[in-house]
A and B are shown apart, each in its own frame.
Chain A
Amino acid sequence: MSETVTLEPGGRRGRRATREPVDRHQALLEVKNLNVTFQRRGGRATRAVDGVSFSVKPGEVVGIVGESGSGKSVTSLAVMGLLPSRGVQVSGEALYRGRNLLTMGNQELSSLRGRDLAMVFQDPMSSLNPVIPVGLQVTEVLRRHEDLTRQQARDEAEDLLRRCGIPDPRRRLGEYPHQLSGGMRQRALIAIALACKPALLICDEPTTALDVTIQAQVLELLKELVSELGTAMVMITHDLGVVAGLCDFVNVMYAGRVVESADRRELFAHPRHRYTHGLLNSIPRLDSPRGEALRPIPGTPRDTIAWSKACAFAPRCQFADDDCVVDDLELAPLGAAGHRVRCVHPAPEEDK
């Protein structure tokens, strides 16, 4: 598949020239203190995302790891402005090249979305329109954001599908999503996201619905993109294995908050938060010696206390004491540079 992706930046006609040059050292996206609250009329407010901050530089892959319900997908939807307007309160800042996406007008956001910012969703069957041919769904983005004729857009789409590893792309353009296999649908979705060579790509569990051999193909494709195009990527997943192979920097989320963030090597070598530590111990590994019992985390992710400043993991944590429930916890630096942890009793550094 190495020959499939040779997307060179620039070199295409249209409005491409108007885009600002990329500064590799400055953060492309900076999320600061993002809060998302859902409220139904008469119901109690639910804090889905609570004070999440992270930043992504061009060519960097930032991972957001968490279980279902930890708020990782809501974070990405909020950044892309895809949350419904009713019943949702979003506060904080999401700065894309210094412009706040959260306060931006709809029209301005629409011109960025699909061109500068793109997103790959988890379930390709429900995010592709089942009654529109795949080709039309790819050319739609191109025609919306680039000055292309129908024929140009079609050629471009064919080229895109080929580069994303879809065999016989000309025939596939006329087919409907149900005629493609799961792996091909996900590739088509990635092709749509990449159509305008976005500067920032948000992938929300892009490989969860796929088999491992197909997952490996898709991850390899995404890796090549980042290294060749300098795309900044936010990778949202629950799979620690995917994170270990792909991400440069990792944020671990639990119950709407980032509980630990570190460089990928640092995080896996010295997990400090009790949740990360417990999670790494509880998953069976392909290379671990057999016969060793797993050490599961007791309880379920839903066993959280009502929202407060205290540690949300405390009810499941065997090291929890009164301090954990009382203290006002912040994400604080600990150990190696860039490693930050939100925990009263972090695991000792040597204890892997």
Chain B
Amino acid sequence: MTSSETVSGPAPSPPPAPGSDVLLSVRGLQVHFPIKRGLVFDRTVGHVRAVDGVDLDVRRGQTYGLVGESGCGKSTFGRGLLRLEEPTGGSVIFDGQDIRSLKPEALRLMRRRMQMVFQDPLASLDPRQSVQSLLSEPLTVHGLSTADAEEFGRDSSSSHLAKAAAMLEVVGLPRGALAKYPHEFSGGQRQRIGIARAMILNPDLVIADEPVSALDVSVQAQVINLLEHLQDLLGLTYIVIAHDLAVVRHISDVIGVMYLGRLVEEAPSDDLYAQPLHPYTIALMSAIPIPDPEIEDHRERILLRGDLPSPANPPSGCRFHTRCPYRQQTRCDTEEPVLRDLGAVAPGRRVACHYAEEILAGQIAISDPSLQIDPVAG
């Protein structure tokens, strides 16, 4: 957190040069899944546009939080970055290299620097592997990092064991855990193992997909603190994907809000809470319950009508216009808004809404008053 540097001015549009402040630069990333029909001949009858043109930059040492509801494509985006799902368009520039053009062997080597923490630790840890085997597997594949090789010696089962034991200690588990199996641990401990496995190669970028949502409430804080501690210790860059905006806001420097495969708003995390600009973010913020009755009673709420439209057939124009409480007669349903810099109105922020300035200035009111719920008097 502390290592994040402030860089003046908006993010440059062309991908930055290698060695710059930006570690990961994504331009127009698309992940489309074909919908197939037919028994004998597979006809492609359409595409589910899970991720449909996302641009973002992640700076070194920063935490980029990605939020959105289920089905908005945030997990697919994370997997697309690592080519766990093959992107169908756009580019992913990691430290000056285009991930999409890498040959298999080059990609394998690159993955040492990009690791992932998954949501459900029980599903992502092989139940038949001991913790020692789980933790040393990445080392067997990639070998110890150069820094670790100096500390623990050349690659061998004993140096791998020493590194695994050291890593366990970092994530707060006893050395005795090495001989145990995933089912012997609680949810929080399992997630610590998943984190240790991702960090053991000393990666530069860690993508955490819903790292705490499967955990008990009282255990979530432990894992969040651990992730922050490891970032300070190892100088990591994070992309945290979660649906819980409170968690994301707590650990992120910059937050991107996704809706139906697109980024609709991007802002420094404090600004996003203080003044959400996109109508979807405004509604999302007002829907999140805050554990304080005083605030809950005096908060204005905006309800969204209906469900998320199908990503196979997204609405025309602005994808949010079917549910938008601020929808206008013109442009919203015909013209697709681009993620644009608001410039002087809100520096450092990007919004995909035609009417963001007008909404911010209070010139556009909510069209249907029944969607707005005023606080209870008293």
Where the two chains meet, the residues of A that have a C-beta atom closer than 8 Å to any C-beta of B are: 1-3, 67-68, 167, 181-184, 211-217, 219-220, 238-245, 264-265, 268-269, 278-280, 282-288, 290-291, 293-298, 300-302
Contact = CB atoms under 8 A, between A and B. Distances in A.
A67 B287 contact: no
27 contacts: A212-B243, A213-B284, A214-B69, A217-B305, A239-B289, A241-B296, A244-B291, A245-B289, A265-B294, A268-B294, A269-B293, A283-B221, A283-B246, A283-B291, A284-B251, A285-B291, A286-B245, A286-B246, A287-B292, A287-B295, A290-B269, A293-B228, A295-B221, A296-B221, A300-B186, A300-B188, A301-B216
B218 A278 contact: yes
A67 B273 contact: no
A291 B2 CA distance: 9
B70 A211 contact: yes
Contacts of A283: 217, 220-221, 246, 291
A66 B134 CA distance: 33
Contacts of B371: 1
Interface in B257-292: 269-270, 273, 283-292
A211 B69 contact: yes
Contacts of B286: 216
B225 interface: yes
B301 A216 contact: yes
A296 B273 CA distance: 23
B223 to A, nearest CB: 9
A68 B216 contact: yes
Given A184-B307, A213-B304, 4 more contacts: A220-B303, A243-B291, A286-B245, A296-B222
B242 to A, nearest CB: 11
B370 interface: yes
B180 interface: no
Contact of B289 (A214, A244, A264, A282): A244
Interface residues of B, number: 51
A309 to B, nearest CB: 23
B224 interface: yes
Contact of A212 (B69, B217, B220, B308): B69
Given A213-B284, A287-B273, A294-B224, A67 B290 contact: no
Contact of A297 (B187, B221, B246): B221
Given A213-B283, A286-B249, A286-B290, A67 B216 contact: yes
B17 to A, nearest CB: 31
Given A284-B249, A291-B1, A242 B221 contact: no
B361 to A, nearest CB: 24
Contacts of A183: 307
A216 B225 contact: no
Nearest to A295: B221
A294 B69 contact: no
B284 to A, nearest CB: 6
Nearest to A282: B221
Nearest to A289: B270
B290 A279 contact: no
B216 to A, nearest CB: 5
Contacts of A213: 69, 283-284, 287, 303-304
A167 B306 contact: yes
From B216, B221, B291, residue with most partner A Cβ within 10 Å: B291
Interface in B339-366: none
B221 A268 contact: no
A295 B288 CA distance: 22
Interface in B176-231: 186-189, 216-222, 224-225, 228
